[in-house]
Structure 1
Amino acid sequence: MAERPRSGEDRDADASRLSDLEARLARLTPKPKAKGPMAGHDQAHLAWRMVIEIVAGIGIGFGIGFGLDHLFGTTPFLMILFLFLGFAAGIKVMMRTAAELGRTPGKPPGTDERD
């Protein structure tokens, strides 16, 4: 079993050894080469994310429209309407994801990169 530190000096020595170990590990850990917040992602993951965003928007729109049609008895008017609204929402979210690709970390969206 490990011994507990006997005094404050032991604690200070342990703390300095721990910070030295953390510094050495930080130097040995490879740094990501990506500039943007999502640039480290694999392209396939981004493609699947965008597909899922569109399908989710269409599915939610279909569900809301189908439920309202069933509630009001207006089959299939609201289902078609909300299907298109869900598609538009999915496209909007997908475009926002695509805009994240070029964003630099720490800068708010819409700021110029040359500042």
Structure 2
Amino acid sequence: MASDEANQAGNSGKDNPSEKELSERLRRLDERLGTIKAGEQAEAAKLRKQEGDPSAIGKAMRLSSEFVAGIVAGGLVGWVIDKFAGTSPWGLIIFLMLGFAAGLRNLLRASNMLGKTPGKQE
């Protein structure tokens, strides 16, 4: 009750704000809220961008394993040829290079870069 009396006493000396003043205050508040909301949206977009794409990690793992598999397969074939033919270390060296080339080819094929021209977008 005491607070009601204080409010009445405080408001009795002031004029009530006009419709124009209230509209202006509402417009300014709306602008400030819009600015705050835009900032929050920008911050959320920044966080999403930093998180990364989980499918990109899977693709990177696939590409790296394709490359390594080509080199390992070439090395194993070269080692087996050297073991049976007695041409050590030439079979291993040659087939490691062939495995490297096969790994690069698999890498380009898997990343869909093989057969595309730089200026052409599909």
User: What TM-score do you get using the length of structure 1 for normalisation?
Assistant: 0.51
Residues paired across the two proteins, number = 65
Deviation at 1:97, TM superposition (A): 1.0
- Counterpart secondary structure, 1:99: coil
Aligned positions of 1:57-76 closer than 5 A: 57-76=70-89
Matched AA of 1:78: G
- The alignment status of 1:94 with 2:107, answered yes or no, reads yes
The runs of at least 4 aligned residues of structure 1 exceeding 3 Å deviation read none
Identity %: 38
**Aligned counterpart for 1:83 among listed residues 96, 109, 112:** 96
Query: Unpaired runs of 5+ in structure 2?
Result: 1-52, 114-119
Deviation at 1:90, TM superposition (A): 0.6
What is the root-mean-square deviation in Å for CA atoms of aligned residues?
2.4
- The alignment status of 1:54 with 2:84, answered yes or no, reads no
Structure 1 CA distance for aligned equivalents of residues 75 and 87 of structure 2: 14
Matched AA of 1:51: S
Structure 1 CA distance for aligned equivalents of residues 121 and 97 of structure 2: 34
- Counterpart secondary structure, 1:42: helix
**Per-residue Cα deviation, 1:37-90 (whole angstroms, up to 9, x for no partner):** xxx971111111111001100110001000000111011101010001001001
Structure 1 CA distance for aligned equivalents of residues 92 and 54 of structure 2: 36
Deviation at 1:98, TM superposition (A): 1.0
- Determine which structure has the larger helix proportion and give its number: 2
Structure 1 CA distance for aligned equivalents of residues 58 and 73 of structure 2: 22
Query: Unpaired runs of 5+ in structure 1?
Result: 1-39, 101-110
Deviation at 1:112, TM superposition (A): 7.2
Closer, same or farther: CA 65–54 of 1 in aligned 2, 3 Å: same
